[in-house]
Structures are given as structure tokens and as C-alpha cells.
Amino acid sequence: MLEILGRASSINVRKVLWLCDELGVSWRREDWGIGFRSPKEPEFLALNPNALVPVIRDGSFVLWESHAILRYLARKHPASELLPDDLQAQAIVDQWMDWAAGDFYRGCRGVFLGLVRPTPGFTEPERIAAATADWTDKMRMLDTHLDTSGGFMTGGAFTLADIPVGLTVHRWYASPIERPDLPAVAAYYERLSERPPFMAHGRDGGP
């Protein structure tokens, strides 16, 4: 059984949980991180010297970094619809996953640490305003993309790229900020909500 180390409220842990349920992979999770055991303990650092969740143990194999974990699991379990075999189609999935982890999440992180989980260095009003503006700009870009993409990030089918993007979209709707009307994003959010794993690990009531 796959072991997942990390608290269920972590957006990066939720990526792994969501994919596992999409794939039908059995898993057991241990609480590590804020409010639980510190990932700075030697036991955890021996697995991930960055002291960040998630980490997986698949037998004797250990892996960290959420997107690396997603790709590993999709390759291990037959999931060509989630990570296409075609090189160029796979590159497009990678493109949007990397965008989600970098540019797209930057503003989200600033808002989350400024308003949802107030953290020193992120709560100044001007910093929150800048993060909100950045996030809104990326959400508008996403809305334009989804308006012509075919329904999901890389076309008409759900792929790995929709997991990190979908969780950040959920935070957009769960965050206490003013939001412009983005009809394509709203339709995408409802489309993802038809998937039970997203409802279990994404749109589950928390940010």
C-alpha cells in the first residue's frame, strides 16, 4: 500500500490524494506538517531534506515533490488518459503543470498566507493587494484559455494538469477576496466537481 506523508489540508498533499483516488490506488496517510509532527524531525529529514510535504513511500522507494509524485504514479499505473503517451501531448501536460506550480500559484500563495493563514511577512495590505492582482491576472488568462480549450486544461479530457490547476481554482473560490466574473473558470470548476475524488480532496469545504 502506498504511504503518503503529509497533512490532508496541504494543497500539495491533496494533489496526491486526488490522483490516487482517480487511479484506484490504495493509500495510507500519516499526518506531518503544521499542527502535527514537524517535518524537521530527523525521521522526516532522512526522507526529504527540504522538510516539506508530501513524501511517498512505495515499498522501499521514496519520492518527494508533488508533481514528480503525480507523474510517477500516472506512469506506474495504466493512465495514458492522464499522462498521454505521445511526446508532444505529454509536453503540453508538463507545460501546464509547471505553470500551475509557478506563475499561477504565486498570487494564490500570497493571498492564502495573507488572509487565510496569516503569516508574518504576508499580511501587509499592500502585499495582499499585489498578490490578489497577480492572481486575478492569471485567473483571467485561465478563463481565456478554458473558453477555447475543449473543457479541460489540455483539451476535452481530464489530465494530470487539471489537478494542480483545479486545486488552485478551488482556493480562488474559497478565499475571502473580490472576484471578477469568469464564466469559463466557473464552468470548469463545476465540471471538476462532477469527479468524486475532487469533491473528496478539493472542494471539501476547506481552502
Domains of the chain from N-terminus onward? 2-76 (3.40.30.10), 87-200 (1.20.1050.10)
What's the pTM value of the predicted model, to 2 decimals? 0.96
* Residue 51 zone, left/alpha/beta (φ > 0; ψ -120 to 50; rest): left
Q: Locate cell 488518459: which residue?
A: 81
Assigned C-alpha cell, 93:
501536460
Q: In this predicted model, what pLDDT tens digit does every residue of 20-56 receive, in sequence order? A: 999 999 999 999 999 999 999 999 999 999 999 999 9
Q: Measure the CA–CA gap between 58 and 173, rounded to whole angstroms.
A: 34
130-157 tens-digit pLDDT: 999 999 999 999 999 999 999 999 999 9
